[in-house]
Amino acid sequence: MTVVLDIWTVRPAAVPRALWRMARDPRQLRQVPHLDFHKSLGTGAGRRFTARDADLRQWALLTCWSGPDAGLSATRQRWGAIAERHTRFTLATIASHGQWSGVEPFSPDPAGAKHAGPIAAITRARVRTPQWRSFQRAVPPVAAVLQDQEGLLYRIGIGEAPIGLQGTFSVWQDPAALRSFAYQRPEHVAVIEQTRDTGWYSEELFARFAVLDVSGDAPW
């Protein structure tokens, strides 16, 4: 399986067209051959995961392929017509735990465990409504230390909606840098413990990927 994340930054005047694409793409992509999983995503700063974090000029499409991705060319052309920047991350799954919309979208490749280069991580969660305020209070300390974390190359917030369906995409210079943040930063370790104690999520997923290629506009 190949995982691809396309990120487009659109011109200000094209924001309405981007919103239209977000409504249209999911239905059109259901018929694309070899496309096993796809999510149209908004992006943002990921500091509090509120509507104020949202970046209406930046949008993303996550796709998982069991064959050639030629069937996505028309969708990419439509986005290209309104975008002023475009970056594509091509990824191979190293490990994945949890579900996204009731399915396990990423199939790990055992060979990925030997990857020593840049690593990407996707986190995604469906926050229980009664736990929303508690979750929001816990996010800012982690976001603050993440911004200056050694070895972090790139990060954005991602989500299917401004509230309740939250996630992050980050790229690290190597596996050690990701492990250092995930398991050694006290702010992040505290959130992991809170997650176990409070049951914030009705659904959650964490996945790690080998970064095979980064094309288009340089993200860092």
- Note the pLDDT tens digit of each residue in 140-149: 667 767 777 8
Q: How far from the centroid of its chain's Cα atoms is residue 79's Cα? A: 18
* Dihedrals phi, psi of 18, to nearest 5 degrees: -65, -40
Q: Is the pLDDT score of 161 beyond 80? A: no
Average pLDDT in the chain: 87
More confident residue, 130 or 72: 72
**Paired tokens of 121:** 């991580």
Domains of the chain plus CATH, in order, are: 2-216 (3.30.70.100)
With b meaning 16 or more CB within 10 Å and e meaning fewer, what string describes 126-157? bbbeebbeebeebbeebbeebeebebbbbbbb
| pLDDT of the residue at 102 | 94
Per-residue model confidence as pLDDT tens digits over 40-95: 999 987 565 556 778 999 999 999 999 999 999 999 999 999 999 999 999 999 99
pLDDT digits (tens, 9 = 90+) for 91-124: 999 999 999 999 999 999 887 778 889 999 999 9
- For residue range 185-214, list pLDDT tens digits in order: 676 666 666 666 667 778 989 999 999 999
SS3 70: helix
- How far apart CA 210 and CA 207 sit, in angstroms, is 10
Overall pTM surpassing 0.85 (yes/no) = yes
Quick one: pLDDT band at residue 9, thresholds 50, 70, 90? very high
CB 162, CB 54: distance < 8 Å? yes
Phi, psi dihedral angles at 81 (to 5 degrees): -70, -20
